[in-house]
Amino acid sequence: MSRPSTLASWYALQQEAKQTDNRHLRDMSNDKQRFTQLSRSFNGLLLDFSKQRIEPLTLQLLLQLAEECQLTSKINDLLGGQPINNSELRPALHTALRLPAKAKLFVEGEDVNLAVQASLTKMQQLVAKLQAGQWRGVTGLPITDVVNLGVGGSDLGPLMVCHALAGFKPEQTAPLNLHFVSTIDGSQLAERLKKLNPATTLFIFSSKSFSTIDTLTNANTARHWLIDKLGKETLVIKQHFIGVSASTKKMTEWGIAKEHQLIFWDWVGGRYSLWSAIGLPIALQIGMDGFRELLAGAHALDVHFANNPLANNLPVLLALTGIWNINFLNIRAQAILPYDGRLKYFPDYLTQLEMESNGKSTTREGEAVEYATCPVLWGELGPNAQHAFYQLLHQGTEAVNCDFIAPIHRYDEIKDSETRRQFQDQHRLSLANCFAQSRLLMLGDAAVPKSAAGEAMPHMLYRGNQPSTTLLMNELTPYNLGQLIALYEHKVFVQAAIWNINPFDQWGVELGKKIALATEQALLAKDKQAIALAFDPSTSGLLNHCLTVQKKL
């Protein structure tokens, strides 16, 4: 299959969309069976898409499209280890990272789970040593602070999960303070180093290639800081760095001790890497048992994805509603709106997951696509966003598809009954806002509001008809968060399968890195004439302006 737009179901959906244009969600919502027909649940997760501009016939046609695109076969290829990353000729085996310990997955005659479990075992040993206060720096003091040096998936995934699960810290003799550094300009690292004691600080150098310029630059700066403060270069690197990479050779060359190297593999994309040793900060935050619970939740969703019929398959249905909005209703903006402060970084995480995966304009066969693919994603905590960009959602000119996400239960762990009641009252108010906002986006006003004098007030009109999906989990735990993340991972895959694009490469980020290196050399050379010859007029102007300002300072 090259173009889904040639399929009979695609044409039928185009005709269905023309009918939908004439109907407001306010009218669709009158069907008393709507929630039953357009919601599904699995293992403590509820997916409600009854506020989407979808009728039962629409869903039937979307499922027909999935069948015509041979989605079931493609799901089997993904989970079975087939080389579905066709531009790099390798499988995408992030689901193998969360297999149970005794499971087997043979790829080209090798059981990949053996290596996965070996990496987890070594990771558990390092975690136990740090949490017990047994890891000592070069001065003999125990490590108290751990700084994760990463960028992209090596930063966004661990950061998001650590923030979400900060309340799940295990009992330990040596509480660890976790810090995250990603920016190449050094601003984050400079602020951290001002407050850290080098004698008790450990750095995690996380990079699949171990040559990503952003992370390498921060790691080199951290190394120089440690040596300047502590001396003893070889011992400093050994006792104050852990390496996480697919390249043992480069870790060793940089100076990381073998016993402090954690491995993951080329078949793990960065945005899917939190399940691997890249998740070391997560394990330090919530303990190795908690990390395994996170993996178990994701695996449960994998099993659901593999075995459930498409019509009752949560990732498939979440993906198909997106296809409907993007390709047939021309809605190409997506807002992620969690109603729980612990999910603060979830929109940022999904921005990379979706836009780096499906921000593609060629099919697997190299042909230009003739339909929209990934929408523009953004988001914020719902209660904060209500005081920021909800104005656009309710009264702006853009149609936006929204995902509302919330846990039902919270604060049960607070022992003092009065304090618990106060916080649960706040959470109830948050849930009320979540449901109210999605309802208002759906219904809007039935008529233009009028003043007390009977004058029309169109500036107060809520137009409604904005589609949304609501995702509820019973509570936010490592297990349930694992399910939620895997749900969105598989959603992205399903959409890629229907659009016939490869979601597992990211060539769009490579060329900019190469050009940046050449541009830095121009800034170092400070030769304005050479710059004028090598660069376009706009870039030459910027470079020469910087050189002029630097010369004056």
Q: Is 292 exposed, middle or buried (0-12, 13-18, 19+ CB in 10 A)?
A: buried
CA distance 364 to 85: 9
How is residue 362 annotated by DSSP? B
Q: Determine whether 387 is an active site residue.
A: yes
CA distance 66 to 58: 12
- 402 closest CA partner among 331, 348, 354: 331
Which residue in the list 18, 249, 387, 415 is annotated as catalytic?
387
Please provide residue 425's backbone torsions phi and psi, each rounded to the nearest 5 degrees: -60, -40
Q: Is 253 exposed, middle or buried (0-12, 13-18, 19+ CB in 10 A)?
A: exposed
Which residue in the list 356, 360, 489, 491 is annotated as catalytic?
356
Which residue in the list 104, 409, 513, 545 is annotated as catalytic?
513
Asked if residues 364 and 429 have their Cβ atoms less than 8 Å apart, the reply is: no
Alpha-carbon distances of 1 from 68, 74, 106, 358, 500, rounded to whole Å = 9, 12, 27, 18, 7
Q: What 3 state SS string does 207-269 have?
A: CCCCCCHHHHHHHHHHHHHHHHHHCCHHHHHHHHEEEEECCHHHHHHHCCCHHHEEECCCCCC
* Coil, strand or helix at 319: helix
CA distance 394 to 105: 48
- 407 closest CA partner among 170, 171, 160, 165: 165
The residue behind tokens 């007029």 is: 537
Q: Determine whether 513 is an active site residue.
A: yes
Please name the residues in contact with 203: beta carbons below 8 A apart, sequence gap of 6 or more: 146, 147, 149, 219, 222, 240, 241, 242
* Strand ordering across the sheet containing 39-42: 39-42, 45-48, 468-473, 401-407, 333-338, 376-379
Alpha-carbon distances of 17 from 2, 65, 326, 535, rounded to whole Å = 23, 14, 11, 47
Q: Determine whether 356 is an active site residue.
A: yes
CA distance 122 to 126: 7
Taking only Cα atoms into account, the Rg of the chain, rounded to an integer number of angstroms, comes to 26
Would you please indicate which residues are annotated as catalytic (active-site) residues?
356, 387, 513
